[in-house]
Structure 1
Amino acid sequence: MPQEWNWKDIVEMTGKPSSVEVLKKDSDYLRGTLAECLQDPVTGSISHMDTRVIKFHGCYEQDDRDLREERRKQKLEPAFQYFIRTRLPGGVVTPSQWLALDEIAQKFGRGTLKLTTRQTFQIHGIVKRKLKPAMQAMNAVMIDSIAACGDVNRNVLCATNPHLSEVHRTVWQQALDVSAYMKPKTRAYYEVWLDEKKVSTTENQEPFYGDTYLPRKFKIAISVPPVNDVDAFANDIGLIAIIENGKLEGYTVAVGGGMGKTYGDAKTYPRAATVIGFIRPDEVNHVCETIAGIQRDFGDRSERSQARMKYTIDHMGLDRFKEELNSRLGHALEAPRAFKFDHNGDRYGWVEGEDGLWHLTLYIEAGRVVDDVLLGLREIAGVHKGEFRVTTNQNVIIARVAPEDRAQIDALVAKHGLDGYRGASGIRKNSMACVALPTCGLAMAESERYLPDLLLKLEAILDRNGILDAPITLRISGCPNGCSRPFLAEIALTGRAIGRYSLNLGGNFTGERLNTVYLENATEPEILAALEPMIANYAKNRLEDEKFGDFLYRTGVLSAA
């Protein structure tokens, strides 16, 4: 950010700064009064400023909404609690790190782990007095939560398994590099959580971000065709690896993806990223920073609902955005290279890598590592010699297994019932759900707690029509902010109120096309009644290898805009 950047510049470009912009500027580079608030024993909460600041440290303040009314009657404050989201580019952890996160969840949280759609972990149910010890325990095993949330570049996604090939390893390293390159430079995290002594300085503590950081969150994902497991087009920057003769030539670049919208506000909408060019591997850090710099300088800092880069691009116009990018780079991007995706889900079961090691992908319903799933993965981590990979579809890969160790892993998987992927339906294996109730303050309806029941009812319809194995993407989000990336799914439910959802249909199986609203504010019986005849027609009249979302368009159930 230019040294002369100030409030006058912000006002002239985007209008009066929002209250969040003021809070960020007043936070002393993300320190706020967190250190003092964490020591206050009177309340389980923190100050209003610090609820914003703590997000940049990878934490959210929440409360148990199931208990709100009862606590209100008892004249008690809400049951405040926090979750920590880790920063793990590419979602890679060692067995010892997995066990450490498990132990942190047992000791400081609610005793479970959540695998997220951002390819990382969340530990929920941590009360304020346990936050700092939990952070320090993570740091002891070389894991942090810096920039996992907040108005900065967040956890960088990449093709799930970096050990399938040399190209996958290179892409993972690229994700690590760009994550480190764009990480905030402030020492606030280390001072607040790890007791690093603050050093007085007059130097600019954030040479790129400045003291107001980005207007909104910023997301980068790297995919390796033909698999789009990271949903590249849902991100502010999607990098699509171009491989020729087994060699990584570079990346086709897409910009301006984002899932969230606000009901009743036509100015907000989901947007799939737009392809703008091609870059070489050695250009990635600089190009990503330059694109983020345009968002930093032109993004709306007055109205947060308009502050994502998708709106910046649409307000500027794509041509103007590309002109600004070319000007800052000093050259135009090369023409985009062609690519082809065949799906955006996970491949379950065993897969052999180029080096002869094996990788086992397990289905984890809604990413909930609880009960026997928790115990099973704990026991596997105790004997596994390789690594774990968290996928962006909320599943886990037991990676880098030697051929002679497969039988032991298989036995533990079967012992704990983790082999459900073998008999799972096509829609179950391609389902996702966000956390939603009872802890997410934005949730309007159930999501991860509702997914198991909805799956059973949809599976019954599919089974009656003889297509239980048909792969169909299903995603549920408790609100329209879209953390489960619902607007790219073939079937999606987004919460409107308790027991009511918008039904969106028609995304494609590769994650390249947005779906469209079919029903609004619908109950479960209304949703199932709408889907059953479509599924029956699909079973009878689909073409060979035709996916459900494509079928809906071909048969006129949905019409292209």
Structure 2
Amino acid sequence: MTTSFGAANSAIFNDPKLQIPGFNGLRPSGLISLQRTARGFSVSSSNSSINRAVSTPVKPETAAEPKRSKVEIIKEQSNFIRYPLKEEMMNDAPNINESATQLIKFHGSYQQYNRDEKGAKSYSFMLRTKNPCGKVSNVLYLVMDDLADQFGIGTLRLTTRQTFQLHGVLKKDMKTVMSTIIRNMGSTLGACGDLNRNVLAPPAPLARKDYLVAQETAENIAALLTPQSGFYYDVWVDGERIMTAEPPEVVKARNDNSYGTNFPDSPEPIYGTQFLPRKFKIAVTVPGDNSVDILTNDIGVVVVSDDNGEPQGFNLYVGGGMGRTHRIESTFPRLAEPLGYVPKEDILYAVKAIVVTQRENGRRDDRKYSRMKYLISSWGIEKFRSVVEQYYGKKFEPFRELPEWEFKSFLGWHEQGDGSLFCGLHVDNGRIKGTMKKTLREVIEKYNLNVRITANQNLILCDIQHAWKRPIITMLAQGGLLEPRYVDPLNITAMACPALPMCPLAITEAERGIPDILKRVRAVFEKVGLKYNESIVIRVTGCPNGCARPYMAELGLVGDGPNSYQIWLGGMPNQTTLAKCFLNKVKLQELEKALEPLFYHWKRNREAKESFGEFTNRLGFEKLQEWINKWEGIPESSGKFHLNLFVDKETFQAVDELAKLENKTGHQLAMEVIRNYVAAHQNGKSPESS
């Protein structure tokens, strides 16, 4: 009998603590020996019949049924993610049952309800698109914009994984919305659920070989790991397959079963009926460009080029992940670590081998520990590498040396390298709404622009002719989309998850709370004498799952109660160091008590060009806590200047109204105007020409 992993293998192979007779630490004994072939190695079996890693061995009568989570059983009984979702979507109820709620995630949607409303739950659905590299065609953008108004809550949200989220879709409208996205060459398939999620890549449309290879590789990996059984099309477009042609190398890699990676004759050759133990995240980038938070992914892929700039292969990182559970120390965020190097023609086979290693060995009994980071943490990187090599069919080459990572926002105007321009636009928390939404549509529609979504919740307008630049700048400014120099530096790198009111996991506010938090941090900066152009990376989440990656921030706020947060410190501006939990259950209204002494001492005791993250790590939490405990306010001798900017009520009110349009305080806007005026004179320009 052959099954898709769900039964005996799930516990026998997957718990690294178990010592199983016949299991040699890599594969079932007698399963595989490697022989060199054209691509690397071939497989021969020492048994007379074919053994596969995906075959369920005959169980002894005394064998105990392996423990599996409820979701594993739902997947196994679902007929490849169809039942009972298809039936549930056809009835008149406003919601779907528990099994369907789990299955619809694979289709790219979550069932939600408005937690602000009292009484009966008002159910709706959030849809998340899948856009490898963040690429969105002109047609798809306009369709999503329309759907938000017709069937959503009138807003689009850009996510930290380069996708759209569409909130507030009613069950009765789901098929219309889903089929519209599909028929306009979009997809939500695999944007949620226990499978590979959206594959990240640098969003900049640069005509450089390394960037083009990174983006092409991301798209190929996304295609390789896309479900094949047709459940998505059966539910939303009555079985009609609306798919683009795949590159032949993707089809070849998916079908290759030289090393026992596939489920033979299965509608899902890589996933089987059980798919993966939990979500799986992959990012691809080029050396030095950390616009994708590369170390937070299950797999990080880095293009490696020769001295002439020709891409030769890829470095691979494995084992990153952000999710954790409050006060369960055995759950933790983790950075990916180097696995090795592969030549460019082998990248799809190597990625597939890593995914299959997690499929076969990741825990399926307790979803808190089902991410690949826990498997690697338990096994260690050496054992993990040796198991992956069995599925890959080769030894990994040594990891190639890389330059320092740098966060790149791609905001502002840039040359693409092909004669056109691109423009990166800052969008606070990724929420496109109101006048901004209307303006973006007008610009994108008028100039027929394609767009890209960044992993920092921003938007890039692509393929802009030079003659269009000035009118586009004017249109964007009128819609409140400002050039980066006019945006508070704190806002540029800040991120927040949606949290309340729609996310069922949220403990407290994030997206709705971060605008005020950033204003308060700016006010503390000014109070302690930090300059306006100074900034730190701030990320806020409403729960410990870490969707906005707060554990990589210099200041991470993680919801752990009503209006209460953990404070995490020690991340770096280039997102290469994991933060640590500094304080628990800090009430929102008391943030300044912790932040004011920290920022004051950073201003006065830092080394040259030392970031806030570097400073907190160098001093250590014990010293930081001592400063907070002894804090009695800023000494009068600190030299702080207090400026009375407004001489009359009318001026104050006018500036305050203008400031609200930019999500700032009146004081912040006034200081910006003064700084720009002074800077213009210092540069020899008149204020009117600047």
Q: TM-score, normalised by structure 2?
A: 0.77
Give the letter for the 1:516 counterpart.
K
**8 Å CA contact retained: 2:567, 2:586:** yes
**8 Å CA contact retained: 1:162, 1:171:** no
Q: Residue by residue, what CA displacement relative to the aligned partner does 1:334-391 show, whole Å, maximum 9, x if unpaired?
A: 1111223443351321111221221111110000001112111111111223321100
Percentage of identical aligned residues: 34
**8 Å CA contact retained: 1:158, 1:230:** yes
**8 Å CA contact retained: 2:4, 2:273:** no
* 1:172 corresponds to: 215
* 1:515 corresponds to: 579
Q: Residue by residue, what CA displacement relative to the aligned partner does 1:395-416 show, whole Å, maximum 9, x if unpaired?
A: 0011121111111211111111
Equivalences for 1:104-503 in 2 at 5 Å?
104-196=147-239, 203-244=265-306, 245-419=308-482, 421-464=484-527, 465-503=529-567
**8 Å CA contact retained: 1:91, 1:119:** yes
**8 Å CA contact retained: 2:204, 2:410:** no
Per the alignment, in what secondary structure is the counterpart of residue 504 of structure 2?
coil
Q: Residue by residue, what CA displacement relative to the aligned partner does 1:420-445 show, whole Å, maximum 9, x if unpaired?
A: 53222222111000000000000001
Deviates more, 1:375-384 or 1:444-453: 375-384
Q: Residue by residue, what CA displacement relative to the aligned partner does 1:429-472 show, whole Å, maximum 9, x if unpaired?
A: 11000000000000001000001000100011123323221231
List runs of 5+ in structure 1 lacking aligned partners. none
* 1:33 corresponds to: 84
Deviates more, 1:102-111 or 1:528-537: 528-537
- Residues 1:242 and 1:545: Cα distance change in structure 2 (over 3 Å): farther
Per the alignment, in what secondary structure is the counterpart of residue 11 of structure 1?
helix
1:48 partnered with 2:48: no
Structure with greater contact order relative to length (CA < 8 Å, sep ≥ 6)? 1
**8 Å CA contact retained: 1:262, 1:269:** yes
Which residue, out of 109, 114, 120, partners 1:64? 114
Give the letter for the 2:181 counterpart.
M
**C-alpha separation in 2, matches of 1:64 and 1:204:** 40
List runs of 5+ in structure 2 lacking aligned partners. 16-65, 242-263, 625-690
**C-alpha separation in 2, matches of 1:558 and 1:486:** 22
**C-alpha separation in 2, matches of 1:509 and 1:48:** 41
- Residues 1:559 and 1:292: Cα distance change in structure 2 (over 3 Å): farther
Per the alignment, in what secondary structure is the counterpart of residue 545 of structure 2?
coil
* 1:8 corresponds to: 8
Deviates more, 1:89-98 or 1:160-169: 160-169
**C-alpha separation in 2, matches of 1:480 and 1:382:** 39
Per the alignment, in what secondary structure is the counterpart of residue 57 of structure 1?
coil
**C-alpha separation in 1, matches of 2:88 and 2:285:** 41
Q: Residue by residue, what CA displacement relative to the aligned partner does 1:192-244 show, whole Å, maximum 9, x if unpaired?
A: 0001179xxx9411111110000000000012232201001100001122234
Deviates more, 1:14-23 or 1:462-471: 462-471
Deviates more, 1:445-454 or 1:468-477: 468-477
**C-alpha separation in 2, matches of 1:105 and 1:208:** 34
- Residues 1:293 and 1:356: Cα distance change in structure 2 (over 3 Å): same
Deviates more, 1:307-316 or 1:161-170: 161-170
**C-alpha separation in 2, matches of 1:98 and 1:422:** 27
**8 Å CA contact retained: 2:325, 2:545:** yes
Per the alignment, in what secondary structure is the counterpart of residue 341 of structure 2?
strand
Which residue, out of 8, 20, 24, partners 2:75? 24
**C-alpha separation in 2, matches of 1:450 and 1:5:** 44
**C-alpha separation in 2, matches of 1:537 and 1:425:** 22
- Residues 1:191 and 1:125: Cα distance change in structure 2 (over 3 Å): same
Give the letter for the 1:387 counterpart.
N
> 1:59: how far off?
0.4
CA RMSD of aligned residues (A): 1.9
**C-alpha separation in 2, matches of 1:197 and 1:337:** 45
Which residue, out of 523, 535, 547, partners 2:599? 535
- Residues 1:423 and 1:539: Cα distance change in structure 2 (over 3 Å): farther
**C-alpha separation in 2, matches of 1:558 and 1:143:** 51
**8 Å CA contact retained: 1:301, 1:307:** yes
**C-alpha separation in 2, matches of 1:480 and 1:501:** 10
**C-alpha separation in 2, matches of 1:468 and 1:211:** 55
**C-alpha separation in 1, matches of 2:441 and 2:390:** 52
**C-alpha separation in 1, matches of 2:122 and 2:336:** 39
* 2:651 corresponds to: none
Q: Residue by residue, what CA displacement relative to the aligned partner does 1:163-212 show, whole Å, maximum 9, x if unpaired?
A: 252321221111111100111111111010001179xxx94111111100
**C-alpha separation in 1, matches of 2:623 and 2:209:** 42
Give the letter for the 1:508 counterpart.
M
**C-alpha separation in 2, matches of 1:461 and 1:121:** 34
**C-alpha separation in 2, matches of 1:558 and 1:434:** 30
**C-alpha separation in 2, matches of 1:176 and 1:410:** 31
**C-alpha separation in 1, matches of 2:276 and 2:6:** 14
**C-alpha separation in 2, matches of 1:227 and 1:549:** 20
Q: Residue by residue, what CA displacement relative to the aligned partner does 1:29-77 show, whole Å, maximum 9, x if unpaired?
A: 0101222211211x2111111000000000000100001xx22xxxx3x
Q: TM-score, normalised by structure 1?
A: 0.94
Give the letter for the 2:185 counterpart.
M
> 1:97: how far off?
1.6
**C-alpha separation in 1, matches of 2:6 and 2:323:** 29
- Residues 1:356 and 1:555: Cα distance change in structure 2 (over 3 Å): farther
**8 Å CA contact retained: 2:158, 2:165:** yes
Aligned residue pairs total 549
**8 Å CA contact retained: 1:502, 1:517:** yes
Per the alignment, in what secondary structure is the counterpart of residue 176 of structure 1?
helix
